[in-house]
Amino acid sequence: MTELEWLKQESGLTDDELKTYETILGDNKFKSMLKKVIDANTSLTAAKTKAEGELEQFTTRYNSEFVPALRDVTQQAIDSDAKRAAAEAKLAKAKELGIVIGNEPEPKETPRAPGSPDPNMVTRDDFGQFQNRQANTLMALQDLNAEHFGLFQAPLGGTQELVNEVNRQHLLGNKGFTLKNAWEQKYNVSAKRTEVAAAAKAKEVSDLKAQWTKEERERSGANPHMRRGQPSRYDRYKTAEATDKVKPWQSSHSSRERNTDWRNQALSKVREAQAA
C-alpha cells in the first residue's frame, strides 16, 4: 500500500482532493507531511496497543487478587460484627442473671489512717487459708479418683472441669456445691453405684451356688444321678452277740440263699408230720 492509498483510506478524501493538496503543498512537502502523519499514526497505534495490554493485565489482576481480597475483608468484617453481637448478647444475659456486674462507677477509696493495715494486702493468715484450701482440694480429688476407679475401672480425668464447675456454682450462689457433687453429676454416679451393687450381689449369689454345688459333688460324687450317702445301719453291731459266725454285711445278696435254713426247717416239720 502506498502513502497516498493509506492517506486516502485513513482520511476518506477523494483522488481529486488529494491532488489538490499535492498541488498546493508541492510534491516534497506533501510527501513529508504524509510521512509525519504515518509516523504519528504508528506511534498512536503502538501506544493504544500498549495501553490495551496494560488494561488487560490490570483487569486480570483485579479479578484474581483484588476482588478475592475485598471479599475476604468483607466476610471478616461481617463475622466480627456477628461475634461482637453474640458477645454483647451473652454479656447482657450474664448481667441479667447477676453473674457479671455492670459498668458502675468505682467507689472512691477511703483514705486510711497512717499506720493502719492495708485491706488489699495478703497476710500470713490469708496465705495459710489458701494453702489449706488447695490441700483439701488435692485430697478430695485423690479420694474421688480412687472411688472413680473402683466404679468405672479407669482413672478420673478432666479434674479441671470439675473445679471450674464448682467455681461456677459458687459464683451463682450455690456455696454448698462440692467437687464430689460435680463428679456425681457429670458421671451419673448414683446409677453406676446401683449397677455395681447389683453386679456384686449377683456375683455373691453365683459364688454361693458354686460353693454349694462343689460341696454336694464332694458328698455324692461327680455323678448327679447317684444317691446321697446314708449312715450305716450296722454302726453299733457287736460281733460277740452274734448267734452265728456270719456277719450281716457278708451275707448273700440273694434272698433264696438267705432263706435256705428256714426252708430246711419247714421241710423237716412236714416230713415228721407225714411219718406220724
Mind giving me the DSSP string for 256-267?
Answer: HHHTHHHHHHHH
Q: How many CA atoms lie within 13 A of 91 on its CB side?
A: 9
Binned at pLDDT 50, 70 and 90, residue 274 comes out as confident
Residue among 171, 5, 150 at smallest CA distance from 97: 171
Gap between the Cα atoms of 152 and 191, Å rounded: 12
Domain residue spans of the chain:
3-94, 128-220
Does residue 58 or residue 222 have the better pLDDT?
Answer: 58
Q: How far is the first Cα of the chain from the last one, in angstroms, to the nearest whole number?
A: 185
Of 52-61, 93-102, 192-201, 228-237, least confident by mean pLDDT is 228-237
Q: Which of 13-22, 49-58, 84-93, 262-271 has the lowest mean pLDDT?
A: 13-22
Position 11 pLDDT exceeds 70: no
Q: Which of 71-75, 164-168, 253-257 has the lowest mean pLDDT?
A: 253-257
pLDDT in tens, 96-124: 776 755 565 566 667 766 666 666 666 67
Task: State the pLDDT at residue 208.
Answer: 92
Lowest-confidence pick of 10-14, 142-146, 191-195, 265-269 = 10-14
Q: How far is CA 70 from the centre of its chain?
A: 39
Looking at residues 1-26, what average pLDDT do you find?
A: 59
Residues sharing a CB contact under 8 Å with residue 156, sequence separation 6 or more, in sequence order: 141, 144, 145, 148, 149, 183
- Confirm if 220 and 226 have CB atoms less than 8 A apart: yes
**Which set of grid coordinates corresponds to residue 46?**
503502538
Q: What is the pLDDT of residues 147-169, one digit of tens each?
A: 888 888 888 888 888 888 888 88
- pLDDT value of position 201: 93
25 pLDDT above the threshold of 80? no
Closest C-alpha among 154, 153, 151, 181 to residue 165? 181
Average pLDDT over residues 159-184: 87
Q: What is the pLDDT of residue 203?
A: 92
> 0.75 cut: is pTM over it?
no
The span from the CA of 143 to the CA of 266, in Å, is: 92
Which three-class secondary structure state does DSSP give residue 91? helix
